[in-house]
Every structure is written in structure tokens, then in C-alpha cells.
């Protein structure tokens, strides 16, 4: 095995490159690390700004207060439902539309692609969209959280390109010779070969639904339908409540705990996505690159 010797310029470049990347990684990771250690540190130490490298006065009081608030569990349940149901709906519509548009025998497929791409640049805006959702009777229902964003034009284009570059035309012809129908070909052959793009679209959709905030703020009025993001807003921003909602007074001891509750809330809301990502990470780069670059 031949070892390529690096000259002085190469070593200087490598040193600079590794140093720069290390600094960049620290800049990205340190805020996340600070959130974690602040969520389990003494609230007085967090408020005074002395927590910056290791936890001080380890305590789980912030998490305890957070989970004692019953609406957090309701928000978790709702967000989980919106994310799972919304992702399944997104995948169903995106993959079927993308495959149909990838077929050269689809009459008018260029026209359909133009209409889909047109929606990426022009939209009705918030007020017309709200009026449409209201006229359809979806305001203050679970459907307002999944139906308006059931299809993404960007994801359809990625899926279509992936099918065009990954599923050979000869494969369909061979399957048809053996008597395979289009539906059977899609479910038995196309989908098993499309795991990378399925994983990418699922991750995009799940994260979008899980982090959805503004849509719930506009369309939902019933607290039993609130996603986790709205519940956390109620706890950490509003500072007052009706009924059994906790009140955070500036003069109370709970005000100090509320600071670490904020960090705990960030961890709680981010944890599901952090758990999901490792399972789809190996498909992520492949799916995005094939679906968005190749023609």
C-alpha cells in the first residue's frame, strides 16, 4: 500500500481545516449542551449565569414541575397523533402523486407538474386560507392540523425525480409481461426500492408536524386539542391561567424554577425528533441527493 506524503502546504491546510471544523462543531453543540446542563442545575445558579460548563446543584425540580402540569401530557398526546397521522397522510399522497407524475404514459403530466410547481411560488395568504378552512368546517378540529399541509409540492417533486432516476422503465415492462398490475407493481416493487426517499419525506413531515405552532394558534380554540407547543407557550410565556393552569408570579419561588422549566421544555419537545433521526439517518443523505440533484 502506497502512502501519499503530504507537503508542508497540505499539512497547513489540514491543520487549518481541522481547527476550523472543531470550532464550528463547538459553536453548534455548545448551546445544546448548555440547555441540557441548565435544565438540571440549581435555578439560582442558572439565573445568575454561573452555569456554563458543568451543572451546579443538580436538581430535577424543573422537570418535576413541568410534568406535574397535566396539560403537558395532553399536548404530548395530541402532538404525537398529529405527527403520526399527518406523516402517514403526507407519505400516502406524496408517494402516489410522485410515482404517477414519474410515469411517461401519464396524459398531461407536464400540466400537472406546472400546477404543482405554481403553488410553490404563489399562494392565497393567511386570510383566504383561514376562510377556506372555516368554510370546510375544519376550524377547531384535528383536521385543521393535518389536511391543509397534507401535500408538499417540494416533496412531490423530490419523489417524482427519485422514481424517475431509480425505477427503470424496463422493470415496469418486465413486470407487465408477467401480468403484474400497476397497483401491485407500486406496492410490491416500487415502495421496497424507495426506502431512502420514504425515510427522508417521513422525517421532513414528522418534524414539521411536531414543531407546528402557528397553525394550531390560528385554528384551534379547544384546549383538549392543543399540541405540545401551544401548551408550553401557555406555561412559559403567558404566566397566568384559568382553572388549574399554573400561575407563575414574579415574586414566587416558582418564578425561579420557571427558568429551568424552559430548558426542560426544550429537551422534552426535542427528544422525539432526536430519537427518530438515528433510524433514518443512513437513508437521509442518499434520499435527498438522489431526489434533488439527478435528472
pLDDT tens, 56-67?
Answer: 888 887 788 778
Q: Which residue has the higher pLDDT, 147 or 255?
A: 147
Q: How far apart are CA 100 and CA 96, in angstroms?
A: 6
State residue 237's pLDDT score.
67
**Residues recorded for the chain:** 295
Is residue 295 very low, low, confident or very high in pLDDT (cuts 50, 70, 90)? very low
State residue 239's pLDDT score.
42
Considering the domain boundaries, does residue 272 fall inside one?
yes
Q: What is the mean pLDDT of the chain?
A: 82
Residue 191 has a CB neighbour count (10 Å cut-off) of 14
Report, as an integer, the average pLDDT of 91-101: 93
Of the candidates 160, 185, 165, 152, the one whose C-alpha atom is nearest the C-alpha of residue 101 is 160
Report, as an integer, the average pLDDT of 3-11: 74
161 shares its domain with 42: no
Q: Cα–chain-centroid distance for residue 42?
A: 31
Domain that holds residue 55: 8-59
Considering the domain boundaries, does residue 1 fall inside one?
no
161 shares its domain with 276: yes
139 DSSP 8-state letter: T
Tell me which range, 28-32, 95-99, 231-235, 273-277, is most confidently predicted by mean pLDDT: 95-99
Residue 43 has pLDDT above 70, yes or no: yes
97 shares its domain with 138: yes
pLDDT tens, 248-281?
Answer: 444 445 555 666 777 888 888 888 878 877 777 7
43 shares its domain with 72: no
223 shares its domain with 79: yes
Q: How far apart are CA 93 and CA 99, in angstroms?
A: 10
pTM of the model: 0.77
Considering the domain boundaries, does residue 3 fall inside one?
no
161 shares its domain with 233: yes
Count how many domains the chain has. 2
79 shares its domain with 161: yes
pLDDT tens, 97-109?
Answer: 999 999 888 888 8
Amino acid at each position: 500500500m502506497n502512502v501519499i506524503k503530504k507537503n508542508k502546504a497540505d499539512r497547513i491546510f489540514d491543520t487549518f481545516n481541522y481547527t476550523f471544523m472543531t470550532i464550528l462543531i463547538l459553536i453548534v453543540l455548545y448551546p445544546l449542551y448548555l440547555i441540557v446542563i441548565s435544565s438540571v442545575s440549581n435555578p439560582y445558579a442558572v439565573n445568575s449565569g454561573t452555569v456554563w460548563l458543568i451543572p451546579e446543584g443538580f436538581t430535577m425540580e424543573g422537570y418535576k414541575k413541568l410534568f406535574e402540569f397535566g396539560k403537558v401530557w395532553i399536548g404530548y398526546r395530541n402532538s404525537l397523533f398529529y405527527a403520526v397521522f399527518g406523516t402517514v397522510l403526507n407519505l400516502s399522497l406524496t408517494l402516489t402523486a410522485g410515482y404517477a407524475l414519474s410515469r411517461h404514459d401519464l396524459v398531461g403530466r407536464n400540466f400537472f407538474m406546472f400546477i404543482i410547481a405554481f403553488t410553490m411560488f404563489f399562494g392565497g395568504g393567511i386570510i383566504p386560507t383561514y376562510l377556506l378552512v372555516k368554510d370546510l368546517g375544519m376550524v377547531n378540529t384535528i383536521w385543521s392540523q393535518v389536511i391543509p399541509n397534507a401535500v408538499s409540492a417540494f416533496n412531490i417533486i423530490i419523489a417524482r425525480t427519485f422514481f424517475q432516476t431509480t425505477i427503470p422503465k424496463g422493470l415496469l415492462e418486465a413486470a407487465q409481461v408477467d401480468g403484474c398490475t400497476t397497483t401491485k407493481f407500486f406496492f410490491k416493487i416500487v415502495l421496497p426500492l424507495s426506502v431512502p426517499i420514504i425515510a427522508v419525506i417521513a422525517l421532513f413531515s414528522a418534524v414539521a408536524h411536531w414543531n407546528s405552532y402557528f397553525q394550531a394558534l390560528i385554528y384551534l380554540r379547544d384546549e383538549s386539542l392543543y399540541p405540545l407547543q401551544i401548551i408550553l407557550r401557555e406555561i412559559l410565556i403567558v404566566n397566568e391561567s384559568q382553572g388549574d393552569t399554573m400561575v407563575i408570579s414574579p415574586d414566587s419561588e416558582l418564578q425561579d424554577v420557571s427558568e429551568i422549566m424552559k430548558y426542560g421544555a426544550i429537551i422534552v419537545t426535542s427528544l422525539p425528533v432526536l430519537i427518530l433521526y438515528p433510524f433514518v439517518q443512513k437513508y437521509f443523505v442518499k434520499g435527498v441527493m438522489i431526489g434533488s440533484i439527478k435528472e
